[in-house]
A and B are shown apart, each in its own frame.
Chain A
Amino acid sequence: MPKWFTPAAILCGLMFVASPILIAEVRYESTMGLVQKIFYYHMPSAVMFLLAAVICGVASARYLFGGAPHQDRVAWAAAELTVLFGIITLVTGPLWARKAWGQWWVWDVRLTASLMGWLVAVAYLLVRRYGGPGSDKLAAGLALFGAANVPFVYISVNYWRTIHPATSVVPTLPVDMGTALWFCFTAFLLLFVLLLKMRIYLEEERARVDSLYLSLEG
């Protein structure tokens, strides 16, 4: 692992410890009150979910058309992070919606497209785990669909009728709400980079194990 990994991990841990204190200090939103504070973890995890799906798709495309094994490892690592941040988004969202909207789930475009994107990432991991030989290429094809879904998830709240807040909410946040949000966003982004690096390193070590087995048998 690189030298910067440990200091970055410590910084990330400290940011996650500090974030609830910062969030507690922020004023309540006028219509939703206390439950709106789920937003400060929900929105960054949703962005990481989409970012991971894009990285998985781009790396898969580069693996399919370029054939570099490193890109396949990046794609596999990103697919796991898509599932992780996706489940966080899909659980925290309904917990917020139950109080704010009066129901756990609505089948609007944003929520449905997010669920579809998450299911594609789960399918990617299942294909990699149980697909046998050639599953890497098959999974890479799936990842392209997962990445193609991302723009729909992002713009859906601005073009289709929904009760989900629009993307214009974030730039109009007051200073205290914006500070807490961007602090949490930075913590999540740092965590995302660390987890991606750690997960790619795991795949590199597995590749090393395979080459060692080949040397032993050869």
Chain B
Amino acid sequence: MKTVTSTLLAVVFLAAFIAPLGAQGSGAANQSQTPRQEQQTEFVPLDQLPPQEQLPAPRLLIAAYVFVLAALFLYVVSVSRRLGTVHREVQRLEADLRKTGRR
């Protein structure tokens, strides 16, 4: 009789442990099939968010666009200046050639 009682107790004990695990598993499976928005249980101030989520997107976006336009503008200015220098040199050399009578 004592062994029967202890076996029953062991089964009840195991059932008490296994049942919540099984329920948790099936709950997770249901959640993955039909995702639901979690109920909010607390309000978190903005400055307590993880650093990645606190990053201001407009600042990064503006930095990217300003960099692109500045790089392109500087390159155009650089090529224009180099072209101006070469044009002046061509004019000077052509004038020298005319002076020496070779052209």
Contacts and interface: CB of A to CB of B under 8 A. Distances in A.
A191 B79 CA distance: 14
B31 to A, nearest CB: 20
B61 A35 contact: yes
B100 A38 contact: no
A43 B64 CA distance: 12
Contact of B67 (A16, A91, A102, A199): A91
Instruction: Categorize the interface residue count of chain A.
Output: 20 to 34
Interface in A39-63: 41-42, 45
Interface stretch (B11-19, B22-30, B40-48, B83-91): B83-91
A69 interface: no
B64 to A, nearest CB: 4
Contact of B86 (A37, A41, A195, A209): A209
A11 to B, nearest CB: 15
B63 interface: yes
Contact of B89 (A16, A88, A99, A209): A209
B76 A206 contact: no
A191 B72 contact: yes
12 contacts: A38-B61, A88-B67, A88-B71, A91-B64, A95-B63, A95-B64, A96-B60, A98-B60, A195-B76, A198-B83, A205-B90, A209-B89
